[in-house]
Structure 1
Amino acid sequence: MSKLSNKVALVTGGNSGIGLATAKLYKDEGAQVIITARSNETFEKAKKEYGNVFDVVQTDVSKVEDLDRLYAHIKSKYGKLDVIFANAGIAQTAPTAEVTPDFFDNQFNTNVKGVFFTVARALPILAKGSTVVLNASVVASKGFVGSSVYSATKAAVRNFARTWTAEIPVDQVRFNVLSPGPIETPIFGKMGMPDEHKAGMAAGLPIKRLGRPEEMARVALFLASDDSSYLAGAEIMADGGFGQV
């Protein structure tokens, strides 16, 4: 039997990168999958390319009213939710002295507030025995020049899994964390990272290459399925050894 048969799964930011790879794998494993895209442009593109595969809903996770509309739609159409992959996020870097309040707020609103309310607003429709996978990052546990704000957002996400596991009965919802290392996704382009920087980063990894979105999707499937039934509040660093040595 498929690992997510008869499950309803939500993948926020499921229109590209790790989110898209995970949405495809969840679908292949039997789930009905809802994906979100943030802007009009990304929503229309996702609707055109994947509207026959996924239920695509335009949602800015930093806006609680958007999340309320999303969950009203899910409740009306599916009646429940079994899996959340809270993946939507942004990554920006800047030296501490150059960080502006807008720079700070933009990342915290999406990466922390967005993840918090993605989960909090879903609680009334999460089925008993559901799973929530939070997408954090190896930067939550390591320090890098220019990443003070981004790293802090991911450290907050990592702690959400701990606090929610303590607060919400594990037989009701299991919370776990996927913390990727450097993965070859469109986020590099959005950060303006040149190819030579990526090559240098890959050379510095024990595994000597960047990760692939499909590799992260397999970990996200493990955490969403019964294969991880004894994991609660845990973190898997899928980072090619980056944060381990």
Structure 2
Amino acid sequence: MSARAALITGGTSGIGKTTAEVLHNRGYRVAVTGQRPESVARARKELPDDILVLRADLRSLADTDEVVSEVRERFGTLTTLFLNAGISRPVTLDVCDEAAFDEVFTVNTKGHFFTLVKTLPLLSDGASIVVTVGIGATRSLTGNSLTAGSRGALLTMVPTLALELAPRRIRVNAVSPGYTDTPILRATPGMGADDIAAMLAAAAAQNPFGRLGTPEDIAETVAFLASDGAAYITGQEIVVSGGAGLAV
């Protein structure tokens, strides 16, 4: 397909921002969204000038409508939709409340579902949809039930969405990073800098490859799934974790 264009939610930092740079370098027109004003402002300074940076909150369907309108005006159509934004709220059952549950599922599940619904008319036949899930959705991590459930809900939708959109040759796949060194991981709620550094060091030491993932590791996988090289791949989850979770 010519005139490739991509929309990346959560594209103002970390994996999303790096993916925006990778796709832009490969000739894509790119739009990214972010929720935090400071992240949006930084992305506008650091990303190439022709990348469209939009502030949008996934909890607001009105914001999503505005994003779709802006993308339609700028690009006309989309060939790639990367549903990447998300929040993590480590919380155990004894302290979990309704507000935390609603926030996590509204952003990670409902927000992305309706972003797909609203952008579907913009997607070209043969387009690629990639959803960020994460290995925590299928592996046990203490205190991760909310985040895992919200991401896992998306993962269970992937095969059905893939079949539903197959008549248009639109591919739907998930990418599941392991521990990846991103700003959101380094700002884990309830953990100080020393605790986070210890957590990252332990995760790297336990990984079969002896290191954490990088945003580039994930971005290259997303770029592959968006490419013609993945034209016959749909309904799949690709785990990008350096082998984390393989040991019995």
Q: Deviations over 1:125-181 (max 9, x none)?
A: 111111100011001111111101111111112112112112222534110010000
Cα distance between partner residues in 1 of 2:199 and 2:217: 22
Residues 178, 244 of structure 2: 8 Å contact kept: yes
Would the alpha carbon gap of residues 25 and 170 (structure 1) be closer, same or farther in structure 2, given more than 3 Å must change?
Answer: farther
Cα distance between partner residues in 2 of 1:69 and 1:203: 44
Counterpart residue number, 1:208: 210
After superposing the two structures, state which structure 1 stretch, 47-56 or 215-224, moved more: 47-56
Match runs of 1:9-158 below 5 Å: 9-50=6-47, 52-158=49-155
* Equivalent in 175, 180, 183 of residue 177 of structure 2: 180
Cα deviation, residue 236, structure 1:
0.3
Q: How many residues align?
A: 242
Residues 59, 111 of structure 2: 8 Å contact kept: yes
Segments of structure 1 that go 5 or more residues without pairing to the other structure are none
Cα distance between partner residues in 2 of 1:41 and 1:17: 14
Percent identical across equivalent pairs?
A: 33
Segments of structure 2 that go 5 or more residues without pairing to the other structure are none
Calculate the TM-score normalised by the size of structure 1. 0.94
After superposing the two structures, state which structure 1 stretch, 49-58 or 205-214, moved more: 49-58
Residues 8, 81 of structure 2: 8 Å contact kept: yes
Would the alpha carbon gap of residues 73 and 150 (structure 1) be closer, same or farther in structure 2, given more than 3 Å must change?
Answer: same
- Secondary structure of 2:140's counterpart equals coil
- Secondary structure of 1:144's counterpart equals coil
Counterpart residue number, 2:232: 230
After superposing the two structures, state which structure 1 stretch, 163-172 or 129-138, moved more: 163-172
Cα deviation, residue 53, structure 1:
4.0
Would the alpha carbon gap of residues 134 and 40 (structure 1) be closer, same or farther in structure 2, given more than 3 Å must change?
Answer: same
Cα distance between partner residues in 2 of 1:77 and 1:197: 42
- Is 1:199 equivalent to 2:190 in the alignment? no
Cα deviation, residue 221, structure 1:
0.5
Cα deviation, residue 5, structure 1:
5.4
RMSD: 1.4
- Secondary structure of 1:98's counterpart equals coil
The one-letter code sitting in structure 2 at the alignment partner of 1:199 is A
Cα deviation, residue 49, structure 1:
2.6
Would the alpha carbon gap of residues 170 and 243 (structure 1) be closer, same or farther in structure 2, given more than 3 Å must change?
Answer: farther
Calculate the TM-score normalised by the size of structure 2. 0.93
- Is 1:189 equivalent to 2:186 in the alignment? yes
Cα deviation, residue 201, structure 1:
1.4
Counterpart residue number, 1:171: 168
Cα deviation, residue 183, structure 1:
0.3
- Secondary structure of 1:94's counterpart equals coil
Cα distance between partner residues in 1 of 2:246 and 2:111: 28
Residues 14, 23 of structure 1: 8 Å contact kept: yes
